[in-house]
Amino acid sequence: MKHDISAGSVAQRRSIRAALGSMTATLLMLASLATFAPASAETGARHGSRTAILCAYEPEWQALLPSLTDRQDATYAGVTFVLGRIEGTPVVLIESGISQVNAAIATQTAIDHYNLDGIIVMGISGGVDPDLHVGDVVVPTQWREYLDSVFAREQNGQYTLPSYFAVPQTEHFGMIFPQPVRIQKPMGGTDLHTWFPADARLLDAARKVSADVTLENCTADRKCLPSKPRVIVGGNGISGPAFVDNAAFREFTRRAFQAEAVDMEAAAVAHTSYMNKVPFLSIRSLSDLAGGNAGSNEMEAFQSLASRNALAVLRALLVQLRSER
């Protein structure tokens, strides 16, 4: 009997040791996961939600940074994220680098590491609408990637799309036939998307401040614009991997897309934000006319002024959004 009890006790002790060992392994694994969790996730939890402000180009960045207080830096995927406040609003600033790919990577990385309540692209662009002028600020309702396109073959003096591509929704520019973007659906198949929308609430806030923002008219070296800049909320923006400085292509984009402005990043941010269900807006000030002016491109002369005008609208927007909370 004594022997049976001892055997039972040994078996019980072994069972307890096994259970404790399993629990210890689990606890160690959880501790390991906590140790190696991205610091950014902890940062997001500590600081709550933030508004991401994305620039692509150094003059935009230099205009933006002086508005920031309480600066803290972090780097993920080779991109520097600068945390702080602008007009009392918690923000994370991102200098993505020029190009749609850079902008998309920076946007997704920010979404993955921070609790974002919105993403705003701020900076300069080329003007497409002939009624707009250098220094004006445009806040488009939607954005499109204009070089998601087919470069068609020429046959008998005509360019023709292969039969398996979408029927053209716009006119083409020579061999370039713009196409919708194909987006994978969670359960398989694809959806076709032509335009990616700006967030309605952000657009409404932009409209509320548009008439009261003071925009600059002259550069630091006293080169002044012929007309007073203004803020236009609405219309279409387009993005692509090319810097546009060609009058014929500018005219095509106005006819085909009714575009107000053309840049190299905003549509990629809009696309990424759409996929992640994060509110998006883009504030673009015209530094040049994308080839539409009579002389040489004016971007170098007016890029700093245009950057500051975009910043003025951004700051007014953040104040308005803060008042609505």
3-state SS string for 82-148 = EEEEECCEEEEEEECCCCHHHHHHHHHHHHHHCCEEEEEEEEEEEECCCCCCCCCEEECCEEEECCC
Q: What pLDDT was estimated at residue 15?
A: 53
Predicted confidence band of residue 17 (pLDDT cuts 50, 70, 90): low
| pLDDT one-digit tens code per residue, 169-198 | 789 999 999 999 988 888 888 888 999 999
Q: What pLDDT was estimated at residue 231?
A: 98
The structure's pTM equals 0.83
Domain locations in the chain? 48-144+195-324
Question: Can you tell me the distance from the alpha carbon of 109 to that of 24, in angstroms, rounded to the nearest whole number?
Answer: 34
Looking at CATH, the fold of the domain delimited by 48-144+195-324 is given as Rossmann fold (3.40.50)
Is pLDDT above 60 for 1?
no
Q: What pLDDT was estimated at residue 14?
A: 52
Is pLDDT above 50 for 102?
yes
Average pLDDT over residues 266-281: 97
Q: What pLDDT was estimated at residue 165?
A: 83
List of long-range contacts for 104-107, beta carbons under 8 Å, 24+ apart: 104/268, 104/269, 104/271, 104/272, 105/77, 105/79, 106/54, 106/77, 106/79, 107/52, 107/54, 107/268, 107/269, 107/272, 107/273
